Amino acid sequence: MIKPLKIGHYTVKYPLIQGGMGVRISGGSLAGHVAKCGGVGLVAAAGIALNSEFYDGRNYFQAEPLAFKAELKKAYEIAPDGIIGVNVMVALADFEKLVEAAIEGGAKVIVCGAGLPLTLPGLTAHAPDVALVPIVSSLRAAQLIVRKWHKGFNRLPDAIVVEDPDTAGGHLGEKMEVIGNGDYDQYGTIREIKAYLKAEFPEAEIPVIAAGGVWDRPDLLNALEQGADGVQMASRFVATVECDAADEFKQAYINCKKEDIGLIMSPAGLPGRAILSNTANIRQYDLDQKNPCRMACLKKCSYKESRERFCIVTSLDRAQRGDVETGLVFCGTNAWKADHIGTVQEIFNELFDLGKAEADAAA
């Protein structure tokens, strides 16, 4: 039996978190509809100012929190009582300001990856009801976060997401050379983290969530059988009417083949998984346009520092707007399985085997 998911003070009807996808792939529309269907909907912070009414080409850092709060408002208009949260990458230059904006915008959950969010409890001390959820790929990273939070802030994570670098999309928290070598055991890692938490904090209820490679109901059931308390899914939600990306972005998933998906090295210094068929065009666009680093959106970035590789935030922005010829299309390994543009409710119906009456009631 599939049980609800308890994250901090919140109980989610279905044990599913919609993964955060920047730049504006998971905005207010997708997050709101996932929350309306009974999951946790996440608005992704990365590059949220771009393609917003608040950005005039010169005020990126001023526009970011305004755009972030606007997308949260949009999500709550869709699902007033839903569990709506955010994904804020630790690697973002305005990480602290975006965490504050998330709280001001009413986020109930803050999920953080692309770095270790060691300071997060201090940044959110004035909002103790907001659930804090780090993303890790190893027991060691989980232990480091838990010990730092407990000792420094008397706080524990409200859930922990374990991301499989061999299958997940976007930026990955592992070295390029070890991704896909067959050594990583996601569910073994999940069980190790659960055992650690039970031994060290037996009174705490901290769900451990599997992220990466979950596409359909068999994947979901396998994750739960392997010990996960829930799943985080991102790529599956791209080819939906409600996803905030342009139709051309969604169609790129539908058109791609399994062999089109692979790894790139991001200027952020992290590997990333994407559709690779246009990678030469991404770099060439910046060369042709002689693009400077306009946003300085990342704490560390090879494009900002020496113009190596490409500007990641503008390449993601172009793709989100529909330019999939020169834009970067992040995705997980299962993106090639998308074969039509459906709805978020249809995905929930399939994942949780909802009959017509249940689906109608949810809608």
For residue 109, is the peptide bond before it cis, meaning its omega torsion is within 30 degrees of 0? Answer: no
* Domains within the chain, CATH numbers bracketed: 5-245+339-362 (3.20.20.70), 249-321 (no CATH)
Each residue of 73-109: b (16+ CB within 10 Å) or e? ebbbebbeebbbbbbbbbbbbbbebbbbbbbebebbb
Quick check: 243 and 301 in contact, CB under 8 A? no
Q: How far is residue 85's CA from residue 108's CA, in Å, rounded to a whole number?
A: 5
Beta bridge partners, 10, equal 7
Fill in the amino acid letter for 284.
Q
44 phi/psi in degrees, rounded to 5? -85, 135
138 phi/psi in degrees, rounded to 5? -145, 155
Q: How far is residue 192's CA from residue 194's CA, in Å, rounded to a whole number?
A: 5
Is the pLDDT score of 357 beyond 90?
no
105-140 tens-digit pLDDT: 999 999 999 999 999 999 999 999 999 999 999 999
176-190 tens-digit pLDDT: 999 999 899 999 999
Where does the pLDDT of residue 89 fall: very low under 50, low under 70, confident under 90, or very high at 90 and above?
very high
Taking the complete model, does pTM exceed 0.85, yes or no? yes
- Residue 359: count of CB within 10 angstroms of its CB: 15
In the numeric block, the tokens 């608005």 are attached to 43
Q: How far is residue 239's CA from residue 122's CA, in Å, rounded to a whole number?
A: 37
Asked whether the CA dihedral 110, 111, 115, 116 is positive or negative, the reply is positive
Where does the pLDDT of residue 213 fall: very low under 50, low under 70, confident under 90, or very high at 90 and above?
very high
Strands of the chain (E only): list them.
5-7, 10-12, 16-18, 40-44, 83-87, 109-112, 131-136, 160-163, 170-171, 208-211, 230-233, 261-265, 271-275
Q: How far is residue 71's CA from residue 35's CA, in Å, rounded to a whole number?
A: 14
- Whole-number mean pLDDT of the chain? 95
Q: What is the pLDDT of residue 220?
A: 98
31 phi/psi in degrees, rounded to 5? -60, -40
Q: How far is residue 217's CA from residue 105's CA, in Å, rounded to a whole number?
A: 33
